[in-house]
Amino acid sequence: MINLFQNAITLVSKMATDDYVGFTFFVGCMAMMAASAFFFLSMNSFDRKWRTSILVSGLITFIAAVHYWYMRDYWAVNMESPTFFRYVDWILTVPLMCVEFYLILKVAGAKKSLMWRLIVLSVIMLVTGYLGEAIYRDQAWFWGLISGIAYFVIVYDIWLGRAKKLAIEAGGAVLQAHKTLCWFVLVGWAIYPLGYMAGTPGWYESIFGGLPMDVIYNIGDAVNKIGFGLVIYNLAVNASSNKVEA
């Protein structure tokens, strides 16, 4: 533990004051840690049916915090994008974000088939994204296209498909939370294709090539993962307060 602390101090001392990428890695790591502590400590404040959702929110930010700890060190030492660590983080956290839709819609009778459909689509989206960004970079546009198709199918499912119908049936706080999470997926997740195009070659290189890929990814992670959890937390608060009033 002492050696780990000493290594962290050394890395901080080597980081330049204008290293904005490194700054977002550090801020992202601490923000995820703080969010995890908040979600875990608040679990017992709600009804049992919402505790699993809060637990998953805490797991998402905790997994991200651990990976950001490694990614910030990797960046400080190599000054290269930690693509491998980032996709390992996403392959764990993004499916969990899809699980959140299932958990909040269980009150309206959501079945596990919905959860597994969203999980499979998210894995396809991430695996093809990794292939284009890290392995087959000359065909990045092709793998990015497949990844984008999987993303838009997820968007359709939650905005117009079975998930939407279940949210309407549930109504109240669940419907409002579902709408907010849908906006996170539509707008917040749309940040990631910008980072992908900023870091891979293709017809879009002249448009997005100058953008700081890692800064885009880091901001997207903080907004989406912490934001997702706060929406679930707000749902649990509203649902619990409504039950007390009733």
Please enumerate in sequence order all residues whose Cβ is within 8 A of that of 198, keeping only pairs 6 or more positions apart, or say none: 208, 209, 210, 211, 212, 213, 216
Give the CA distances from residue 106 to residues 29, 98, 136, 218, in Å, rounded to whole numbers and listed in that order: 32, 13, 40, 31
For residue 219, pLDDT beyond 70 = yes
pLDDT in tens, 15-40: 667 788 989 999 999 999 999 999 99
How far is it, in rounded angstroms, from Cα 146 to Cα 69?
A: 30
pLDDT in tens, 75-87: 988 889 999 999 9
Q: Does the pTM exceed 0.85?
A: yes
pLDDT in tens, 114-132: 999 999 999 999 999 999 9
Q: Are 190 and 216 in contact (CB under 8 A)?
A: no
CB environment 142-156: b (16+ within 10 A), e (fewer): ebbebbeebbebbbe
Q: Are 110 and 95 in contact (CB under 8 A)?
A: no
Structural domains in the chain (count) = 1
- Other CB atoms within 10 Å distance of the CB of residue 4: 10
How far is it, in rounded angstroms, from Cα 224 to Cα 151?
A: 15
Q: Are 35 and 229 in contact (CB under 8 A)?
A: yes
| CATH number of the domain bearing residue 28 | 1.20.1070.10
Task: Give the range of the structural domain holding residue 240, as residue numbers without chain letter.
Answer: 2-245
Please enumerate in sequence order all residues whose Cβ is within 8 A of that of 205, keeping only pairs 6 or more positions apart, or say none: 197
